Structure 1
Amino acid sequence: MSHPERLGSQGGESVGTIAEPPHVNETLAAYAARYGLKQSAARPPLRKYIQNVWARRNFIWAFASAKNISMYTESRLGQVWQLLTPILNVSVYYLIFGVLLGTSRGVPDFIPFLVTGVFMFGFTQRSITSGSKSVGDNLSLIRALHFPRATLPLAIAVVEFQQLLLSLVVLLAIVFAWGEPITFHMLLFVPVLALQLLFNVGASLVMARLGAFNRDITQLLPFIMRTWLYMSGVIFSLPQLINHKAALKDNPWLSGLLEANPAYIYVELSRHTLLGEYRGYVHKMGMHSTTQLWAYALAWAAVALIGGFWFFYRAEERYGRG
C-alpha cells in the first residue's frame, strides 16, 4: 500500500489517517524518519536536561524528605536513630583506636577530633552507598513515569544532607562542650560543607550509573568504604602519621597521595574550621597549608560534580531497561 489508508464514517467522510506499516525491507529508523516519529525516552540535549532537572527541584526535596521520614518509621525510636548511629560509631572507634590502640596520643581534643571525622566521612560514605542503589531500587518509578533519572541520586544526596544537618547539632554540642570558643573562623565550615555536598552529588551520580547496570557493586562497596575510611585520617591524625613514619617521609609521593584523598580533604578542613587547637597543632608540625586543602577541596568538588553529571547523563536512555 503506497498511500495512507483513510478511515471513513458511515457517510463516507474521512475522519483520520493511519500511517501504513513499514515495508518488509524498511528499517524502523527509516520508518520513523519517514513519518517524523521521535523516541519518547530519548536523551535530550545536555542544556535541556539540566533545565529539566532544575525544574524538578521541588520534587527532589519532597522526595528526599519523604524518604528521610519513612526510613525509621518501623523502629520505636524513629528519627532519634539519626543521632544515635553516629554516636555509637564514635564510641566504638574511641574504645578500639583511642583507648586500646592509642591513636589519641598527642592529638589535642581527641573526642571532638574523632566525632568530626566520623560524622563528616559518614556523610560521604552514605551518599555513595545509597546513591549506588538509587536507580535499581526505583525501577517501578522509572518505568512508570518519564522524568530526568538524575533526580534520583540527587534526592539521595539531599536525604544524607538532611540527616547530617541533624547530626551537626550533636557535633557542635561536643565541640563546644570540650571548651572550643565560638570564633568567626567557624563560619568557614559552611563552604566546606557546601563543597563536600557537591562532591557527594557527583560521586553519587557515578555510583548510580555503575550500580544500575551491575548490582554486584553494592556488595563490594562496604569493603571499599571501610578501606577508604582507614586511609582518610578519620580515626587518626594523618599529619601526625606522616610526621612520624619514616616510610611516608622517605616516599613523599605516597604521603602526597594520601593528602590528596578527597575524603581526607573534607574531614581535615572541617577540623581546621571547627577545632582551633588542632589547627594550631598541625601548623606547628609544618604540614600542609590550609590554602592547599582549600585548593584540593574546590578541585574535587568541580571534577566530581561536572564529571559525575556527564557520566550519568550519557546513559540516560538506558536506565530501567532490561
Structure 2
Amino acid sequence: MANTALADPDAGLTQAQLAARYGLRVAGERPPLAEYTRRLWHYRHFVAAYANAKLVASFSNARLGQLWQVLTPLTNAAVYYLIFGLVLEQKSIPNFIAYLCTGLFIFNFTQTSVQNGTRAISGNLGLIRALHFPRACLPLAITVTQFQQLLGSLVVLVAIVLVTGEPITLAWLVLVPAVLLQTVFNAGLTMVVARMGAKLADLKQVMPFLLRAWMYGSGVLYSVTLFEENLPGWATRLVEVNPILVYIELARVALLEDAPVLNSSLPRLWLVAAGWAIVMGIGGFLYFWRGEQEYGRG
C-alpha cells in the first residue's frame, strides 16, 4: 500500500482538489473582470479583422456593394423629406434637408448597431462553440462595423450640408467628440441587447418596433421644439435626456448654423452625452461580462 501511495501522489484526492492542484477550471467559466478585460484587449486585432470581414460580406451579394451603406440612409432621407418636408412643410426649420439627413445618419448609427447586436450571440453559435475567446468581441465587432459605415455616411452628410448652403466653421470639430461618445454608448447598448438576445429569441422581432418608436421620440424627422410646444414640462425634461436626441442635437449644432434645439445649454448637452456614454459603456460591459458563461449553451 505504501508503494502505491508513493507511485500515485494524486490518490485519494477529490475532483476539486485535483483541479486546484493542476490549475484546471470549469469549461466556459466566467473569468474575473480584470482578466477578462486583458483578454479582450489581447483580441483587439481579432475584433478589427472580424468587423472588416463582416462589412465586406454584408454587401458582397449586392451589385453596388458598399455604396448601399450610403444609399440606404439617403433613400430614407428622400422618402422622409417628401413626407415631412414637402407634404407637411416643416417651415420652422431653415435648412430642413440637412437637418433631416443629420438626424437620420446619426440615428441610423445606433439603430443598426442595436439591430445587429440582438443577433451577436445567437447568430454566431458555431463560432462560439468552436473557439475560445471573450464573447464581448462579437458585439464590439458589430459596433466597429457600424462605425466604419458611419464614416462613409458622414462624408455624404458633409457634402449635403455644404450643397444646402451651410458654411464651414470651427464648430464642425465638435462632431468628432460627439460621434466618439455615441460610439461608446452604442458599444455598451449593443452588449446589453446581445446578452438579452442570447436568451430571448423573439427580441429581434420586437426590436424594430422599439427602434421606430425611439426614432419618432428623438426629433429625427421634425423640429425638436415641438416637444416644448406639445408636452408638459416634466415630459419635456425627460425628452431632453434622451441619449439619441442629445447626440443628434450635438451633430446638428456642429454642422448647422440655425438648427432648432430643445436644450439651449450646450454644456448641459455635453454632460448628458458624456454621462450616457460612461453609464452605458461601463454598465453594458459589466452586464455582458456577468453572462459570459451562458453564451453558446442550451
Corresponding residue number in structure 1 for 2:203: 217
Corresponding residue number in structure 2 for 1:187: 173
- Alignment of 1:289 with 2:274, yes or no, is no
Alignment partner of 1:193: what SS?
Answer: helix
- Alignment of 1:256 with 2:243, yes or no, is no
* Cα 1:19–1:276 shift into 2, 3 Å: same
CA RMSD of aligned residues (A): 2.3
Given the two structures, how large is their TM-score scaled by the length of structure 1?
0.86
The separation in 2 between residues aligned to 1:175 and 1:36, in whole angstroms, is 60
Q: Structure 1 unaligned runs (5+)?
A: 7-13
The one-character-per-residue Cα deviations of 1:249-291 (angstroms, maximum 9, x if unpaired) are xx2110011111011010111001111122xx54xxx953111
The one-character-per-residue Cα deviations of 1:269-321 (angstroms, maximum 9, x if unpaired) are 1001111122xx54xxx953111111110000000000000000001111101
Which residue type is aligned with residue 259 of structure 1? E
The one-character-per-residue Cα deviations of 1:31-86 (angstroms, maximum 9, x if unpaired) are 64576532242211111111111111111111100110111111111111111100
- Alignment of 1:305 with 2:291, yes or no, is no
* Cα 1:111–1:18 shift into 2, 3 Å: farther
Report the alpha carbon displacement of residue 188 of structure 1 after superposing the two structures with TM: 0.7
Aligned identity (percent) is 48
Corresponding residue number in structure 2 for 1:87: 74
Give the number of equivalent residue pairs.
298
Which residue type is aligned with residue 235 of structure 2? L
Instruction: Please give the residue correspondences for 1:44-123 in structure 2 after superposition, counting only pairs within 5 Å.
Output: 44-102=31-89, 104-123=90-109
Corresponding residue number in structure 2 for 1:39: 26
- Residue pair 1:187, 1:273 contacting (<8 A) in 2 also: yes
Corresponding residue number in structure 1 for 2:161: 175
Larger relative contact order (CA 8 Å, sep ≥ 6): 2
Report the alpha carbon displacement of residue 3 of structure 1 after superposing the two structures with TM: 9.6
- Alignment of 1:143 with 2:129, yes or no, is yes
The separation in 1 between residues aligned to 2:206 and 2:181, in whole angstroms, is 26
Q: Structure 2 unaligned runs (5+)?
A: none
Given the two structures, how large is their TM-score scaled by the length of structure 2?
0.93
Report the alpha carbon displacement of residue 105 of structure 1 after superposing the two structures with TM: 1.8
The separation in 2 between residues aligned to 1:108 and 1:154, in whole angstroms, is 38
